[in-house]
């Protein structure tokens, strides 16, 4: 009797699953979900100038924040329709895959390894890695560090724990000791407290900090490793991916170019020219 009941329940369950899978409505695209919700949820950080950081008023600002607002304009014609979820770099992919955020715009390097887990937008910036020095530290520039290393001194370079971080430190200065931290903020703390002789960080951050706080930081003059930054999205939603790419394309090379150019001038201090008429700029 019990076996008959169990068998009947199993049949009902299987029929139910089959019915739901065949007749269920197709999963809504993230684009529709965001439009229905009325605001965008963006994962980003809060401790990296000039990408995403807190200004004196305690508001989240930076170039990644501007890209998020450009996306909000594309969705709702309103740059304020965006909610930010602050996250550490190692939470970028998990938060995306578990739907805590709609998109990650957090100076994320496009790489093949990452592209196995997430989909990237078209790149919105090309970054390089530079070396930041403490202004009152042992070395005034990169050449002095190289000379010190040749003379047998131990040089410690702090860096964000990231893809190829250890190899990058060796490329910067062979034989240097790497100190790989969880967040960029800790990298700066390591430099400030003397735990590291230098920090390998984004060149854009170095240029910002050296100009805003010259009594604390120096640009060593060294830079390398061009890398593309893109926004990350879940890979199973081509409609959302296409939409984001369209918004970015139009803001960098189309009729919304002023949005991108103004943000670029504000955070990198460089005035970009308007896109030329004729062959689209991205194919020149």
Partner 1 sequence: MIYYFSFRVIQNNIGDMINGLGLGLFIAVISLFFGIILGLIAAFAAVSSNRALNNIATWYTAFFRNTPLLVLIYIAYFGLPEVGIMMERNASFIFTLSFYAGAYMTEVFRAGLQAIPKGIIEAGQTIGLNRFHICWNIQLPIMFRYVLPSMSNYLISLFKDTSLAASITVPELTYFARKLNVETFRVFEAWLTAAFLYIVTCYLMAYLLRKLERKLRIEW
Q: Which residues here bind partner 1, judged by CB under 8 A?
A: 89-90, 93-94, 97, 113-114, 116-117, 161-164, 179-182, 186, 189-190, 192-195, 234, 236
For residue 36, the minimal CB distance to partner 1 (Å) is 20
The CA–CA distances, whole Å, from 273 to 236, 252, 267, 280, 284 equal 36, 11, 16, 14, 14
What is d(CA 187, CA 106) in angstroms, rounded to the nearest whole number? 17
What 8-state DSSP symbol labels residue 144? Answer: H
C-beta of 52 vs 69, nearer to partner 1: 52
How many CB atoms are located within 10 Å of the residue 9 CB? 10
C-beta of 66 vs 178, nearer to partner 1: 178
For residue 27, the minimal CB distance to partner 1 (Å) is 10
C-beta of 126 vs 193, nearer to partner 1: 193
What is d(CA 212, CA 199) in angstroms, rounded to the nearest whole number? 17
For residue 180, the minimal CB distance to partner 1 (Å) is 6
C-beta of 69 vs 92, nearer to partner 1: 92
For residue 229, the minimal CB distance to partner 1 (Å) is 16
**Of 120, 121, 46, 35, nearest in space to 81 by CA:** 35
The half-sphere exposure of 236 on its side-chain side, counting CA atoms within 13 A, is 7
For residue 240, the minimal CB distance to partner 1 (Å) is 13
What 8-state DSSP symbol labels residue 260? Answer: H
For residue 121, the minimal CB distance to partner 1 (Å) is 17
For residue 170, the minimal CB distance to partner 1 (Å) is 15
Cα 237 to chain center, whole Å?
A: 20
For residue 8, the minimal CB distance to partner 1 (Å) is 30
SS3 string, 146-210, reads HHHHHCCCCCEEEEECCCCHHHHHHHHCCCCEEEEECCHHHHHHHHHCCCCCEEEEEHHHHHHHH
How many CB atoms are located within 10 Å of the residue 11 CB? 10
C-beta of 182 vs 262, nearer to partner 1: 182
C-beta of 82 vs 179, nearer to partner 1: 179
C-beta of 94 vs 214, nearer to partner 1: 94
C-beta of 50 vs 134, nearer to partner 1: 134
- What SS3 state is found at 8? helix
């Amino acid at each position: 009797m019990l076996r008959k009941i169990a068998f009947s329940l199993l049949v009902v369950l299987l029929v139910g699953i089959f019915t739901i899978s065949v007749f269920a409505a197709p999963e809504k695209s993230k684009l529709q979900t965001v439009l229905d919700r009325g605001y965008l949820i963006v994962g980003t950080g809060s401790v990296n100038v000039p990408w995403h950081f807190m200004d004196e008023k305690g508001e989240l600002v930076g170039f990644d924040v501007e890209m998020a607002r450009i996306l909000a304009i594309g969705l709702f014609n309103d740059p304020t329709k965006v909610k930010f979820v602050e996250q550490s770099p190692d939470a970028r992919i998990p938060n995306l895959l578990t739907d805590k955020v709609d998109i990650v715009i957090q100076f994320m390097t496009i790489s093949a390894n990452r592209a196995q887990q997430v989909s990237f937008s078209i790149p919105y910036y090309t970054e390089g890695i530079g070396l930041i020095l403490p202004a009152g530290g042992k070395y005034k520039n990169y050449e002095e560090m190289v000379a010190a290393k040749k003379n047998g001194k131990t040089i410690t370079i702090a860096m964000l724990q990231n893809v190829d971080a250890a190899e990058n430190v060796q490329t910067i200065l062979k034989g240097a000791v790497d100190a790989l931290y969880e967040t960029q903020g800790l990298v700066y703390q390591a430099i400030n407290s003397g735990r590291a002789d230098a920090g390998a960080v984004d060149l854009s951050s170095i240029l910002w900090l050296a100009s805003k706080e010259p009594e604390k930081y120096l640009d060593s003059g060294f830079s390398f490793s061009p890398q593309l930054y893109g926004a990350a999205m879940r890979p199973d939603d081509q409609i959302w991916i296409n939409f984001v790419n369209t918004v970015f394309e139009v803001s960098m090379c189309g009729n919304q170019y002023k949005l991108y150019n103004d943000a670029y001038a504000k955070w990198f201090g460089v005035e970009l020219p308007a896109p030329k008429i004729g062959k689209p700029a991205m194919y020149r």
